[in-house]
Amino acid sequence: MEYQFSRRVLELKPSAIREIFKYAADPQVISLSAGNPAPEAFPVREIAEISAGILAQRPIDALQYGTTEGYTPLRGHLAAYLKETSGIGSDGDDLIITSGAQQIMDLFTKSVVDEEDTIVCEAPSFLGALNTYRSYRAKLRGVPMESDGISLEGLEQALKEEKRVKFIYTIPNFQNPTGATMSLAKRHGMYELAKKYGVMILEDNPYGDLRFQGEDLPAIKSFDTEGIVLYSGTFSKVVAPGIRVGYAVGPKPILQKMIVCKQGEDVHTNIWGQMLCDELMTKYDFGAHLARLREVYRKKSKVAVDAMNRWLLPKITYLPIEGGLFFWCTLPNGIDMLEFVKRAIDHKVCVVPGNAFLTDESKPCQSFRINYTTPTDENLVRGIQLLGEVASDMIP
């Protein structure tokens, strides 16, 4: 049979990261290409205790159908927590629980974007979000990243030139893939530009609780007086990605449309995972748990920095980070980044080529992404050493 695929699926390409995972599956290969939390960060004991209690005391609540909006106690506790800790949420907002933050990208895009509408994105940006936007045949306009976040000049130019912009997509804290944190001035600047040009902002914050250095900065959503910001959060990086529990806070009319769309996708997010997250927040010391995670990542990041300073500098440079999961490394001009990545695989170490994170993957890129959280300290150091050996072979 000759299969007929939709136009939007025909134009999609396999994820570059997932393709790299094929090589990373080799037990002899050190993977610095994942985006996974550190194995030692998972609250396994607490999850086991809570799960046993739920299944012993309230099994039907956990196993039965639930509401599309999400588990009511978790929604209430999350709303209060975000308001108290981050100033997020107003009378015009609501909160829904989703199957991970990735579903927020999908539901929001499905709700507000028509074919050929434009989404303005940081360049580089999170590949999972970019592929979601591509699946709806949106036009992607990339705006260059700087050390303190998106270029506001580039952002305004994009908003002037593009006639059908629906929203700006940003990851202000420890951005994936660069690790950069948007300055307070740029957060206010982005919000003012969104107001000026009548577009929304999708503020994606999966890593904000993983700050191990520097001062917390307010969420863009915290000064949203116009109802133009949709805030995306997740338990994936602070509890476990496998439970697939995310949450969105935004204007009630937007969330109502997202709920209708979710009913056609998965009906509701898994109830056991929602109950688990609720009890972790309310019956355990959630603040102490986050503090432990920050210490884990502070120590692991130091291992990575020490290794990069020894084995990569000065031939390969990297951006300093204050939290999150990634380092963004850059090769000198004239060095073929894709050839470097291929040779790294030959040396049994995987990284992600930087062009995978661009809105236009054909554009030149001298950078690649390292994940420091997933490998053991020993493998992290060894993997960076192997990258240094490749650099020595390729860079004069």
Where do the domains of the chain lie, and which CATH numbers do they carry? 7-43+288-394 (3.90.1150.10), 63-283 (3.40.640.10)
Q: What is the pLDDT of residue 21?
A: 60
d(CA 369, CA 7): 31
Judge whether 308 and 385 are in contact, CB under 8 Å. no
126-163-141 Cα angle (round to 5): 20
Show Cβ contacts of residue 277 under 8 Å, excluding neighbours closer than 6 positions. 74, 235, 239, 243, 245
Q: Is 246 helix (H, G, I), strand (E, B) or coil?
A: strand
Which pair of structure tokens corresponds to residue 248? 């969105």
Neighbours of 32 (CB within 10 A): 29
- Cα atoms in the 13 Å half-sphere on the side-chain side of 24: 21
pTM > 0.75 = yes
Judge whether 187 and 181 are in contact, CB under 8 Å. no
Q: What is the pLDDT of residue 16?
A: 57
Residue 233 forms beta bridges with which residues?
A: 247
Which pair of structure tokens corresponds to residue 11? 């134009």
Q: What is the pLDDT of residue 362?
A: 85
Residue 371 forms beta bridges with which residues?
A: 326
Question: Per-residue b/e over 267-280, b at no fewer than 16 CB within 10 Å?
Answer: ebbbbbbbbbbbbb
Judge whether 129 and 169 are in contact, CB under 8 Å. yes
Q: State the pairing for strand pair 30-31/229-234.
A: unpaired
Torsion angles phi and psi, residue 27, rounded to 5: -60, -20
Of 210, 276, 201, 194, the residue nearest 242 (C-alpha): 276
d(CA 221, CA 187): 10
Sign of the alpha-carbon torsion through 374, 215, 86, 280: positive
Q: What is the pLDDT of residue 12?
A: 72
Neighbours of 110 (CB within 10 A): 18
Q: What is the pLDDT of residue 1?
A: 85
Q: State the pairing for strand pair 200-204/246-251.
A: unpaired
Q: Is 347 helix (H, G, I), strand (E, B) or coil?
A: coil
Residue 141 forms beta bridges with which residues?
A: 120
Residue 143 forms beta bridges with which residues?
A: 122
Neighbours of 63 (CB within 10 A): 12
Sign of the alpha-carbon torsion through 281, 284, 285, 291: negative
Residues of the chain where predicted confidence (pLDDT) is lower than 50: none
Which pair of structure tokens corresponds to residue 174? 């420890």
d(CA 165, CA 113): 9
Q: What is the DSSP letter of 333?
A: T
Show Cβ contacts of residue 180 under 8 Å, excluding neighbours closer than 6 positions. 145, 146, 147, 148, 149, 174, 319, 321, 328
Show Cβ contacts of residue 394 under 8 Å, excluding neighbours closer than 6 positions. 335, 339, 340, 343
The type of residue at 272 is W
Q: What is the pLDDT of residue 261?
A: 97
The DSSP H or E segment spanning 94 is strand 93-98
Which pair of structure tokens corresponds to residue 3? 């299969």
Residue 382 forms beta bridges with which residues?
A: none
Neighbours of 142 (CB within 10 A): 20
Burial class of 347 by CB neighbour count within 10 A (0 to 12, 13 to 18, 19+): middle
Q: What is the pLDDT of residue 14?
A: 66
